[in-house]
A = this chain, B = another copy of it.
Amino acid sequence: VDPRIVALQKRACARGVIGLAGGLPATELLPRDELARVLADAATHHAVALTYDWPEGVAQLRAWIAGRLSARGATVDAQQVIVTSGAQQALSLIAMAHRGTQIAVGEATYPAAIAAFERAGVDVVADDADAHYVMPGVSNPRGVDLVEPQRAWWLERGALIADEAYTELRFDGRISRPLVADAPARVWHVGTLSKTVSPGLRVGWLVPPLREHQTLLDLKEAADLQTASVTQQAAALFLARFDYDAHVERSRRHYQARAARLCEALRRELPYARFAEPEGGFAAWVELDEPGDEIGLLGEAIAAGVTIDPGRAFRPRDAPSASSFRVSFSSAPIEDLAEGAHRLAVAVDRWLTRGARASRRRS
């Protein structure tokens, strides 16, 4: 990520502006008391929690992951699952296994996926590669399902890296059959508890194609030996003791209400902006007709008291670049969302004015 963006966002945090940046879950949905209990219980009663485990991760957690995928129609055994330090580490390990090849990500995608792929020596392109990175159910940043409507087409592509970070947070609760169910030899399945339970645990997972399992396990071990035993064991206890599905359903309704609030305000405040109504997840993706310096737009936004994620971090280098940005409705207090959109409109106005002045100077 561009260090200028990080510097701006950090300054904004300190000043208490309205945060429409980042992919953070709502604070009020974090199961704080439940996690406190299972963390303490894991440390006190489970031998593995405070010591080393094998690189693939805690057996009870892998069984839950495999069981959930199986319930959705996939044939996945707990032995195929590798617990990772969040979905991000799964992407980074997959990237290492694809060094020297190309991965297509579409015209806009999750910025840290691009970073993980590029750091590992993968050539990231928008289109036309042997491997494709997709987010079934809810794409990031667009907030809509770009996979299921063309499922058959996708399944004819080569390797698919299927990142289900937001899949369960579709507002309509319609969770598709996982891609790995239909093409187990070509799908790298990625999941996480970061969006539905807590990102602070860093518990994600990876189901690689069978023939790649040993390679990925070796990469995982070389990367950090294993994911924290204590958070894995706590996650397993959480999933065994509490009603995960009810928690996810509550979260869907919560985020749906937030999405509606933000979109309504965006339509009112930025009537000229283009965006799709999110079908799930944490954010909407806004496009403007005018090209321009999106980091400058972030600067204007912060000056106006709101943060956004500038579009260029989401684009592979060969993608067309109309101005765009991501606005998250997931974590700012819901009553601030309308004011956030208003400030954003002020910022876009100023930014467009400056841009127009700059182009007059150039001509």
Do A52 and B96 touch across chains, with their CB atoms under 8 A apart?
no
A43 proximity list for chain B (CB < 8 A): 32, 35-36, 39
For A114, the closest partner residue in chain B by CB is: B222
Residues of chain B lying within 8 A (CB to CB) of residue A234:
39
Contact A88 B225 (CB under 8 A): yes
Is A109 an interface residue, CB under 8 A from the partner?
no
**Chain B residues whose C-beta falls within 8 Å of the C-beta of A335 in the assembled complex:** none
* Residues of A within 8 A of B (CB-CB), count: 62
User: A218 touching B36 by the CB < 8 A rule?
Assistant: no
Residues on the B chain within 8 Å of A48, using CB: 200
From A233, which residue of chain B is reached at the shortest CB distance?
B200
A3 within 8 A of B: yes
Cross-interface CB contact of A230 among B39, B50, B84, B96, cutoff 8 Å: B39
Q: Verify B39–A86 contact, CB threshold 8 A.
A: no
- Nearest residue (CB) in B for A46 is B200
A207 to chain B, nearest CB (A): 18
Within 8 Å of chain B (Cβ to Cβ): is A47? yes
- Nearest B residue to A231 via CB reads B228
Q: Which of A42, A50, A112, A222 counts the most B-chain CB atoms under 10 A from its CB?
A: A222
Distance to closest chain B CB from A47 (angstroms):
7
Per-residue B-contact encoding for A197-226, CB less than 8 Å = 1, 0 else: 011111000000000001000110111111
In the complex, the chain B residue whose C-beta lies closest to that of A33 is: B44
B221 touches A54 (CB 8 A): no
Q: Are B199 and A51 in contact, CB atoms less than 8 angstroms apart? A: yes
Contact B222 A119 (CB under 8 A): yes
Chain B neighbourhood of A42, CB < 8 A: 39
A227 located at the interface, meaning its Cβ lies under 8 Å from any Cβ of chain B in the complex: yes
* Stretch of A20-28, A247-255, A342-350 lying at the B interface: A20-28
Interface of chain A, main secondary structure: helix
Docked-complex contact A44 and B32, CB < 8 angstroms: yes
Query: Is there contact, CB below 8 Å, between A112 and B218?
Result: no
Interface pair B3/A214, CB less than 8 Å apart: yes
- CB-CB under 8 A from A200, the residues of chain B are 48-53, 228-230
Residue of B nearest to A23 (CB): B52
Given the known interface contacts A3-B214, A92-B223, the answer about A199 and B44 at a Cβ–Cβ threshold of 8 Å is: no
Contact indicator per residue, chain A 79-90, by CB within 8 Å of chain B (1) or not (0): 000001110110
Assess whether B202 is in contact with A116, with CB atoms less than 8 Å apart: no
Point out residues on A near B: beta carbons under 8 Å: 1, 3, 6, 10, 22-25, 27, 30, 32-33, 35-37, 39-44, 47-54, 84-86, 88-89, 92, 96, 112, 115-116, 118-120, 198-202, 214, 218-219, 221-231, 234
Can you identify 30 A-B contacts, CB atoms within 8 angstroms? Answer: A24-B51, A24-B52, A32-B43, A35-B43, A35-B230, A36-B39, A36-B44, A39-B39, A39-B42, A39-B43, A40-B40, A48-B200, A50-B201, A51-B198, A52-B199, A52-B200, A85-B227, A86-B224, A88-B222, A112-B221, A115-B221, A116-B223, A119-B219, A119-B223, A199-B229, A201-B228, A202-B225, A224-B224, A230-B231, A231-B231
Contacts beyond the supplied A33-B44, A199-B229: 17 A-B pairs with Cβ under 8 Å? A6-B54, A36-B43, A49-B200, A50-B200, A51-B198, A51-B199, A53-B200, A86-B224, A89-B223, A92-B223, A112-B225, A116-B222, A202-B228, A224-B224, A228-B228, A228-B231, A230-B231
